[in-house]
Amino acid sequence: MEVFIYVLIFLATFVAASLFNWTILTIAEHYYDWKEKRKEVLKRSEPSVIPELSELKTPKFLKINENCVIDENLFDRFQLSRIRQGLNQGLDVSLYANPKFSLEQMLQIQQGLIHGIDVSIYAKPEYDELQMEQILSGLVAGEDISDYADPSYSATEMALIRYKENMSYCHNK
């Protein structure tokens, strides 16, 4: 768009130069004046002058349930798709309709809801999607997750703890 404006300005100055017998220097002076005035106007009218306003968009609300409404501008299109899919499935998407959750985290929470699991245990932004997957797998398997449901453990560490607990359970039978 900006290139188009510059081409338009060039053509206008070329026409003006031929009509008024302006020299190249005169055209350059007018262009420079115009450019400086444009900068001043943009500075005064640009929302980025006030940093808090630079990211503002008109809210687009999506009603989740009677008590929950979200602003669609806070989510990317994939997150919104996941939220809408959960709404269509009749799930309580308010548990994962949080812009702090990545798409993958939302998927893990959605899977837990589909399995009828109490996702409040792991539906927290401090868990990454791989940690959530380990906790969800443990809950689905009926395991006691209290030993590894800790955000300080990596997903690999959680998997090792689960493996050791399952091995000790098999040996105790």
Task: Show me where the domains of the chain are located.
Answer: 2-53, 61-172
* pLDDT surpasses 50 at 53: no
Residue 49 pLDDT class (50, 70, 90 cuts): very low
Cα–Cα distance between 20 and 27 in angstroms, integer?
11
**What average pLDDT does the segment 153-161 reach?**
95
On average, the pLDDT of the chain sits at 78
pLDDT tens digits, 66-123 = 666 778 888 888 998 999 899 899 999 989 999 999 999 999 999 999 999 999 999 9
Sign of CA dihedral 35, 37, 38, 42: positive
Residue 25 has φ and ψ, to the nearest 5°, of -65, -45
